[in-house]
Structure 1
Amino acid sequence: MTTEPQAPWANVWTDDAVVHLVPIEDIVWHEFSDSCVCGPDSEPHRPQAAGPDVSYVIHHALDGRP
């Protein structure tokens, strides 16, 4: 069984404890906001009990990758 190569993704930290997971080399430029053209999903995340809450904003690739 062979697998197709996957296009890379990047984690981008922004202010206010927000992490954006953005596809690299997509067919559109992704804005680091909840109003990006790809319609990203937001998920709260608590990395550790004593640490700050972090929000993940997961952007969707528009070039057809899984």
Structure 2
Amino acid sequence: MEDFELTLSINSRQLHASVHTHAEGDTTYYDVTTDDFSISIYKDTLYTWTADDSAGLSAADIQSIGEQLMLG
């Protein structure tokens, strides 16, 4: 899988993020690391992103990160 970097917009803040992708079974995980947090997210349904451990982020924040990954 491919590693990449991008700038995320979360709660009106711009955060530089490094993203590492990896597959486990049929699921692709996106390990997102910023200076403020580290989280592993995946698509739960066609339109819904989730994480097993929220890293203190809200469901809306996790959804926003996933959507930005697809646009980046």
Task: State TM-score, norm by structure 2.
Answer: 0.30
Task: State TM-score, norm by structure 1.
Answer: 0.31
Higher strand share: 2
Relative contact order (alpha carbons < 8 A, sep ≥ 6): 1 or 2 greater? 1
For the pair shown, the structure with the greater C-alpha radius of gyration is 1
